Amino acid sequence: MNKKRIIFIASIIVIAAAVIYPSIVYITSKSSNDSSPPTDNQVQAEAWNKGTLEEQAKQLTALMTDKEKIGQLVMYTPTDQADAFSSSMIKEFYVGSALLNRHLQTAAEMAAFTNQLQQWAGESRLGIPLFISGDLEYGAAQRVPGEATILPRQMAIGATHNVEHAEQAARITAIEAKAMGFQWSFSPVSDVNSNLENPVIGVRSFGQNTKLVSDMAVAQVKGYQAEGVLSSAKHFPGHGDTGFDTHSTLAKVSYNEEVLRKVHLPPFQAVIDQGIESIMTSHIIIEAIDPELPATLSKKVLTGLLREQMGFKGIIVTDAMVMEAISANWGAGEAAVMAINAGADIVMANGSVEDQYETLNTLYEALQDGKIERARVDNSVERILYYKLKMNLFEQQSVDANQAAALVGSKEHWEQSNQIARDSITLIKNEGILPLDPKTNDHILVVSVAYADWIAESVRQMVSGQVTAYQAAPARGEKLDAAPEAIAEAVALAKKADRILVFTQSDRQLPQGQIDLVNQLLATEKPVVTVSLGNPGDILSYPNAKAHLSTYALDNWYWLTPIPVSWDAAVQVIFGASPKGKLPVILNETYKEGYGLRYP
């Protein structure tokens, strides 16, 4: 029998509640279910280490105390690397999952961190391993930007119209994430971006066409499954037609049920049919199903629609409960109880330390008081343990830091990422300006509202002439716009240059300052190439541009999510590489889905 499955209990320990913050006490047990289990280790191990995985999960659940069960329902967020808070949450409060939302610079550091978390899990009473998860929409680089391979955003992959690229991106992500100790990626984004002014999805979506999104999402699930990593389709039942960001407000969608079922649900049904292991909920009110509660808290949505009608049998995990759509309307604890009662299996408790303790305390108290049915809890715990057993986490909890360093950010992965990016660049407009001659000695001015120096360096790799960079907006900030003095400076520099490359970025409507910047550069009558870094609809704000490319590189958290492979690819197309991308969204009657020019 494997050592990891033998339960070592030398004596029964009654765990005191206050650990780090004495004022925050984990509520003690009120039921006989928390009485100490038998001390015969062999009997306990034999009791659950036989039969099918479902039977093993059920038998192990029967050995668990209420505290241990509640812990499995909570995904906590470490506040620091290998800190005392993590140790107590894992070893004493029995949390079953960890969300890693911070950046570490090296693969070896991340592997050491996840190994420490799993070691603590192994030292808990039953030694149940953790699920270690993260948002990995554009690769493991979302967590380890210093070394991991950066992949194009999902709308860029959608612009390739190549499902093999989607699967390959997922495989790269899974290989690198798994090497560092992750077992769970919160991807693919399966939202159909039917509202071009959606402030939170945008280039995170594969596109506007339901079939395209479905095909791409299924391909990514296949890639994750092939490499043994859980994937999670989000944000159920579809976040693509909202006009508000649920990080800051509670949003509603008012389309009818027919639109919901024809446009937004098919990608989720497609990945369910593919056997996806988890689905993440959205904090939006779908009026056609439940006009009162957001999906995360709605039994009509999670149990009635997702479980009963769509047949999903995997793990339902909530989106971050700290988002103001939830936290501003319900407290962390109350919302957690509502989510579990609605049908969620795991609550993502990524708020403050106090919020995370409140989540655990309130769930535990609700179970003792009968506000959550015991069968509801057991059902979720059994499901979670089933997937931990299926992934062999009890057998192999740690990873090799040296192997992680060798696999993460490999040359092969970077080459594949660069190819996907090159195939995504979409030529929207070209009135005799492109391609530019890379052999020219012309003075080229690069004007951008984001990452001007980085982009200019990409241009320098292509040409021998002088390249000047000008950042026309703050390097980091909420408002991506160009002030009048910045526009004047850009125009002055343009008059000294031979050719101008100007990069704009929006998550929905382009700010007026950026529009003025482009138009005044066009007025110099120098050859100008415009490039959208984010929303491909930027071209609609400066229709007089004569040459325009879309990269789909940046979302509204642009300073956190640089995707240099995409703007590098755009620069390559500007200087002669073949543009292959096609719009995955509709911009207007001229620029429809599938539109994309080619060089002669």
Which residue, 544, 477, 532, is CA-closest to 508?
Answer: 532
Q: Determine the distance from the C-alpha atom of residue 324 to the mean position of all C-alpha atoms in its chain, rounded to a whole number.
A: 18
For residue 273, indicate whether it is catalytic: no
Q: Tell me, what DSSP letter sits at residue 3?
A: G
597 SS3 class = strand
Q: Tell me, what DSSP letter sits at residue 302?
A: I
Q: Token pair of 251, please?
A: 């949003």
Q: What is the spatial distance between Cα 296 and Cα 298, in angstroms, rounded to a whole number?
A: 6
φ, ψ of residue 529 to 5 degrees: the values are -110, 125
Burial 200-209, CB ≥16 within 10 A → b, else e: bbbbbbbbbb
Taking the CA atoms of 30, 31, 34 and 37 in sequence, report the sign of the dihedral they define. Answer: positive
Q: Token pair of 108, please?
A: 């070896």
Question: Active site residue: 247, 378, 400, 443, which one?
Answer: 247
Which residue, 356, 363, 358, 357, is CA-closest to 340?
Answer: 363
Q: What is the spatial distance between Cα 259 and Cα 585, in angstroms, rounded to a whole number?
A: 17
Q: Token pair of 588, please?
A: 């207007």
Cα→Cα distances 239→202, 353, 461, Å:
10, 28, 39
Q: What is the spatial distance between Cα 205 and Cα 490, in angstroms, rounded to a whole number?
A: 33
Q: What is the spatial distance between Cα 85 and Cα 75, in angstroms, rounded to a whole number?
A: 14
> Are 193 and 537 contacting, i.e. CB atoms less than 8 angstroms apart?
no
Residues in Cβ contact with 375 at an 8 Å cutoff, skipping those fewer than 6 apart: none
Which residue, 101, 31, 38, 104, is CA-closest to 69?
Answer: 31
334 SS3 class = helix
For residue 247, indicate whether it is catalytic: yes
Q: Tell me, what DSSP letter sits at residue 408?
A: T
Strand 528-532 and strand 467-471: the pairing is unpaired
Q: What is the spatial distance between Cα 411 and Cα 415, in angstroms, rounded to a whole number?
A: 6
DSSP H or E stretch at residue 471 = strand 467-471
DSSP state string for 266-277: HHHHHHHHHT-S
> Are 563 and 153 contacting, i.e. CB atoms less than 8 angstroms apart?
yes
Q: Helices 411-424 and 163-179: crossing angle, nearest 10°?
A: 150
Q: What is the spatial distance between Cα 283 and Cα 324, in angstroms, rounded to a whole number?
A: 9
> Are 281 and 347 contacting, i.e. CB atoms less than 8 angstroms apart?
no
Q: What is the spatial distance between Cα 372 and Cα 337, in angstroms, rounded to a whole number?
A: 7
Question: Active site residue: 66, 215, 241, 319, which one?
Answer: 319
> Are 257 and 418 contacting, i.e. CB atoms less than 8 angstroms apart?
no
Q: What is the spatial distance between Cα 329 and Cα 316, in angstroms, rounded to a whole number?
A: 22
Catalytic residues: 247, 319
